[in-house]
């Protein structure tokens, strides 16, 4: 949470390592099912990405690491904490024009339409 530690994390390459780890756990999560230990890991990693994405100058670090691609892949999940965390992180990233452009390059529309459809079905119950 401390901005000094976030700067140190970046300078040591920790954001790239975090993004790589998040991608590996995401691939396991999507391939082998929603095992609780993978859910817990993802929720914690996404939380860190959210915190970094909330700061204007740090959004570029997150997109440069490729974490936004993994967040988009996670939009296909049914686990609420992972989905909500991914949406919040992407929303924060999208506040920056540069990050928004990188997100828009990816095929995110289908995932968002699926989420809206699911939300609509839940709201009609």
Question: What pLDDT does 116 receive?
Answer: 74
Long-range contacts of 104-113 (CB under 8 A, 24+ apart): 106/68, 106/69, 106/72, 108/72, 108/75, 111/72, 111/75, 111/76, 112/75
Contact criterion met (CB below 8 Å) for 78 and 53: no
pTM: 0.85
pLDDT at position 124 over 90: no
Cα–Cα dist 116/1, whole Å: 32
Query: What pLDDT digit, counting tens, does each position of 89-109 carry?
Result: 999 999 998 988 888 887 777
pLDDT reading at 1 higher than 70: no
Q: Is the pLDDT of residue 22 over 90?
A: yes
pLDDT digits (tens, 9 = 90+) for 59-69: 999 999 999 99
Question: Other CB atoms closer than 10 Å to residue 53's CB: what's the count?
Answer: 27
The confidence band for 78, taking pLDDT boundaries of 50, 70 and 90, is: confident
Domain 3-124: assigned CATH number: 1.25.10.10
Q: What is the mean pLDDT of residues 67-93?
A: 92
- C-alpha to C-alpha distance for 104 and 92, rounded to whole angstroms: 14
């Amino acid at each position: 949470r401390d901005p000094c530690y976030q700067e140190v994390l970046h300078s040591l390459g920790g954001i790239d390592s975090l993004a790589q780890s998040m991608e590996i756990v995401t691939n396991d999560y999507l391939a082998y099912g929603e095992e609780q230990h993978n859910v817990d890991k993802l929720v914690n990693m996404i939380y860190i990405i959210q915190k970094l994405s909330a700061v204007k100058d740090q959004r570029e670090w997150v997109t440069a690491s490729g974490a936004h691609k993994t967040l988009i892949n996670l939009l296909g999940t049914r686990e609420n904490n992972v989905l909500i965390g991914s949406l919040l992180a992407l929303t924060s990233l999208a506040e920056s024009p540069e990050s928004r452009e990188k997100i828009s390059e990816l095929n995110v529309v289908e995932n968002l339409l699926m989420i809206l459809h699911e939300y609509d079905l839940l709201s009609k119950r």
